[in-house]
Amino acid sequence: MKDQNTNNGSLMDPVVTYLLNFAYDHKIGYTLIHNYNSTWPSFASPDDNMILINMDWYKKNDIPLIIAHEIGHMLDDDACYLYDESTPAQMKSENRANVRAIDLLLGYCRENDIEFDSCIAFLQQFNIPLKYEIVVKNKMIA
């Protein structure tokens, strides 16, 4: 069933629903983890076709970006649960997932007629790191 949350009956907000529906439509499994350590990171496991999302993440406003990021890993078939490794390949994988996340979040905004005065406002809205400013700027004018 689409956009189902079995723990508290409602999803955090419409962008989360949009992203989970995107995952469902693309046959990406997901589990929303509740009542867990707030610093436990979410992750993607392409081998299991599953993303696990910590809905108790200590920065609640990061959750849409986190979901979009993990979907990005799935679309690129990149596992992302090796947080202790900072190899160039790992860093490239994380960057690709962030760019995919930006695409998903921009898609949500476009589909819902949500406009931003600047790319900085978009970055701030979704807690996207400032280093992606030029990426967002180029995608917003495309």
100-119 confidence digits (pLDDT tens): 999 999 999 999 999 999 99
pLDDT of 2 strictly over 60: no
The answer to whether residue 18 sits within a structural domain is yes
Q: Which two tokens stand for residue 11?
A: 């999803």
The answer to whether residue 7 sits within a structural domain is no
- DSSP per residue over the chain, as a string? -TT--TTTSS-S-HHHHHHHHHHHHTT-EEEEE-SS-TTPPPEEEGGGTEEEEETT-SSGGGHHHHHHHHHHHHHTT-----TT---HHHHHHHHHHHHHHHHHHHHHHHHTT---SSHHHHHHHTT--GGGHHHHHHHHH-
What is the mean predicted confidence (pLDDT) over 23-44? 96
37-89 confidence digits (pLDDT tens): 999 999 999 999 999 999 999 999 999 999 999 999 999 988 665 555 567 77
The answer to whether residue 3 sits within a structural domain is no
The answer to whether residue 1 sits within a structural domain is no
pLDDT of 31 strictly over 70: yes
- pTM, whole model, 2 decimals? 0.86
Structural domain of residue 105, as residue ranges? Answer: 14-141
Structural domain count of the chain: 1
Q: Which two tokens stand for residue 50?
A: 């599953």
